[in-house]
Amino acid sequence: MWKHLLRIYEESQLNEGKPECLFAETLIFDEGWLLRSVLKEWKTLSMGSRLPFLPFPQNAKIYAQGQLRTPFRARVRGESKAETHTHIDGIAGHFTIADGTKSGIKLAPGCRYIAAFEAKLYSSIAKGTKKAEDYDQVSRTAACLVHALLEAGPVADCAAHLVVLYPEDNLAVNPDTCSEAHIREQIDNRLREYKKAGRSTPEIERFEARWEGMMQRLQVHFVTWEEVLQEIGDEGLHRFYEQCKRFNRKT
């Protein structure tokens, strides 16, 4: 995948001076294509890994730019404390695309493995939304993943992971600020405010009763791209990553 993108870039450097390329380089050198390339490498991984969420199960699917359903959906039109579904950069495991959607993720009944990926270059973790200012991107994705697990009824030994990937020199991403206690506190506060704002539903009652127990299955990992690429050991993919950093680094 990345090989084709590098070739497209090289063939598109047609101008003298600036701009050299006939399109904005960030169209191909971004965290999305970097993650897709890495997911493809992990899908075909034939050896062990030091990363705790690898290897993927043999029958795992991979997908980019999916959506996880939120437990805090709108109960009435224009509800102030509701939110839309959460976009995730990548997902791997036992799932399908939900009927009637283009990218809605539905975990398979009796799910045994699921991993959601947030990919960063030089952006920070979003601290909140307009309707929930103290509900950051990691906590929101965790809640949506827990909600999906509750719907699927996973097996007792289901492995569930949330992985944030980022460059080692992106100091705006600080794993220490996203501890398990922090995530639990944010979800608990979000649930409390949502319940106060409207009527109860069977869906939110189930989430309230079981989310903390399901959170015990979810492991959150912060991993640098450097760790990932060193283990993959592909010089060309590393070159692609260097271009991603070059065109996305904030000046």
Please give the pLDDT value at position 229. Answer: 97
Give me the pLDDT at residue 173, please: 96
Q: What is the DSSP letter of 120?
A: -
Amino acid at 206: R
Q: By the 8 A CB rule, do 241 and 168 touch?
A: no
Read off the pLDDT band of 193 (50, 70, 90). very high
**Does 36 reside within a domain?**
no
- Token code pair at residue 84: 């839309």
Give residue-wise pLDDT tens across range 108-138. Answer: 999 999 999 999 999 999 998 887 889 999 9
Residue 179 covered by a domain? yes
Q: Is the pLDDT reported for residue 4 higher than 80?
A: yes
pLDDT, one tens digit per residue, over 23-67 is 999 999 999 999 999 999 999 987 789 999 999 998 999 999 999
Instruction: Report yes or no on 15 lying in a domain.
Output: no
In a domain? residue 23? no
pTM for the complete prediction?
A: 0.94
User: Does residue 236 sit within a domain?
Assistant: no
**Longest pairwise C-alpha distance within the chain:** 63
Residue 28 resides in a domain: no
Range of the domain at 142: 47-231
pLDDT of residue 248: 95
Residue 22 vs residue 47, higher pLDDT = 22
Task: Report CA 169 to chain centroid distance, whole Å.
Answer: 20
Q: How many domains does the chain have?
A: 1
Q: Is residue 5 part of a domain?
A: no
SS3 per residue for 92-103? EECEEECCCCCC
What is the predicted pLDDT for the residue at 251? 67
> How large is the average pLDDT for residues 211-228?
97
pLDDT, residue 92, reads 98
Residue 34 lies in a domain: no
